[in-house]
Chains A and B, each alone.
Chain A
């Protein structure tokens, strides 16, 4: 086994070298002209990201409700105080974090198993692989509407099936105990294919000879997974999971189409709460403060993974 592990590390080094070969060439053309084409794109990025964020930061220290004729005035840190002292915020934070971590974790495990299943060819291999990708390619708002239709307590097909299986009818999207898990399940249904695609591609890029070599050494399936697949796939796995983490914080379309944060506030994630306070209550100051808190939460959670990502790319 150790011999093979040595091979793995040589391979890694080789892959790393190949990756940086292009950068050995130094640019010969000089002058400021070559940078000019960057300007319009960067200008747009700055105008639509840095400017709004700073604007939101300023507004977050103001009392500004669009329906309030008194207009805007300086409010100190009162917006932040209001949010952090409100138990509803902590409930929303808990719900969001649990949603993100649970959904992404289950998606990763399922996607990994699916990738293992599809690693070796079988009949209709290509067709099945392509069909599995369809949920991920369906607009989230369409998935939300479809979920609402299929899970309806009166005429939904899922309830009809559940009834005929003797499991009874359920108020999936409006029940106090079912709404939140249902949202998670829909998210898992839609996004497992995304990780599946990435994991499968990563698995297929593991050199065949390597797998054959360890097999000859008498390694079991589990040993191959633990010593070859996981270490060699580490980078793609972290990339995929990080992207999923970042994206699952955004969940909005699905909630808009299905529960609208309800019942009560049981599916009110942070994205939804910000939308609610900004565009329904029209409390711009509060929503801006909330946005900044949300941004910090996202940065902290995805930052853990991003750090590992940066480390990984430095090594290779």
Chain B
């Protein structure tokens, strides 16, 4: 009897491990394939395309980073996304801080309205936005992307920051208030540093969503302000598709996001569910 009980979980555990490894392989095989193809020459990729063993070459990365326009697309992405992350954190804190401190019906309604913006598909607003931004001559400028990304990330950031600010003990602020600090100083000198890990994670997640965007960038960016995700699709030409180059470029696009997610890992679940699951 006792033997049976001991043996059954063991068999089950190894079965679990086998299924677990199999599932992991399904999810990472395409990604491994992308990274590998990025190091292949055209010949290696197409003549014997199932080979796992080959002499890696850096030719694709040289092409992507030095010979094509992709480098400037990366710079554009980096500029637009970083600016929007700074703006997102500033504007969202402005909303989230009072929201975390003042309990009123109006505030709750405002919070619900902000989160409801998350439901609207971007394609619905993009046409009027395009016309609007074109009228004020912002299409083709990096600022149209900065504004749109900030808009896109504020709802998420407000909800996350509100949760993080709420966790700062009220007593510390009350003490500071007695010492005569105004609410602006209290926020920047006390609340912000105390909730720094949360604020940084919010910034990192905003970075991820803006960096991965393609729809807004594809429509709003001009010839000189292509982002990395748009630049990626430009390796597809009527003459032919430079697949190995695209895979190298794709790897470059993806790596900053992986790093950001790894850094924010502790708050990833919270961030992806707008703070509702901790």
Q: Is the CB of B94 within 8 A of A41?
A: yes
**Could you say which of A31-39, A74-82, A165-173 contacts chain B?**
A31-39
Q: CB-CB < 8 A to A123: which residues of B?
A: 17
Q: Is the CB of B131 within 8 A of A26?
A: no
The residues in B between 13 and 32 inclusive whose CB is less than 8 angstroms from any CB of A are 13, 16-17, 19-21, 23-24, 26-28, 30-31
Supplied contacts A256-B218, A271-B123, A291-B123, 12 more A-B pairs, CB within 8 Å: A41-B94, A128-B20, A128-B23, A142-B34, A142-B232, A146-B33, A150-B30, A160-B49, A160-B50, A243-B274, A256-B233, A298-B119
Q: Mark A44-65, 1 if CB is under 8 A from B, else 0.
A: 1100110111011001000000
Q: Is the CB of B122 within 8 A of A44?
A: no
CB of B158 within 8 A of chain A?
yes
Q: CB-CB < 8 A to A112: which residues of B?
A: none
Q: Is the CB of A56 within 8 A of B273?
A: no
* A38-B95 contact in complex given A132-B27, A150-B33, A302-B119, C-beta closer than 8 Å: yes
Q: Is the CB of B30 within 8 A of A295?
A: no
Q: How far is the CA of A257 from the CA of B229 in the complex (A)?
A: 11
CB of A183 within 8 A of chain B?
no
**Could you say which of A1-9, A84-92, A196-204, A209-217 contacts chain B?**
A196-204
Q: Is the CB of B123 within 8 A of A41?
A: no
The number of chain B residues touching the other chain, given as a range, is 35 or more
Binding site for B on A (CB under 8 A): 22-23, 25-29, 33-35, 37-42, 44-45, 48-49, 51-53, 55-56, 59, 114, 117-118, 120, 122-124, 128, 130-135, 137-142, 145-147, 149-150, 155, 157, 160-161, 164, 189, 192-194, 197-198, 201-202, 205, 235-236, 239-240, 243, 246, 249-250, 252-253, 256-257, 271, 274-275, 278-279, 284, 287-288, 291-292, 294-295, 298-299, 302, 306, 313
The residues in B between 148 and 162 inclusive whose CB is less than 8 angstroms from any CB of A are 148, 150-151, 154-155, 158
* A45-B20 contact in complex given A29-B177, A37-B98, A140-B212, C-beta closer than 8 Å: no
B143 to chain A, nearest CB (A): 13
Q: Mark B66-105, 1 if CB is under 8 A from A, else 0.
A: 0000000000000000000000000111110111011100
Q: How far is the CA of A235 from the CA of B26 in the complex (A)?
A: 29
**Could you say which of B54-62, B191-199, B250-258 contacts chain A?**
B250-258
Count, A-B residue pairs, CB within 8 A: 250
Q: Mark B96-122, 1 if CB is under 8 A from A, else 0.
A: 011101110000001000100111111
CB of B164 within 8 A of chain A?
no
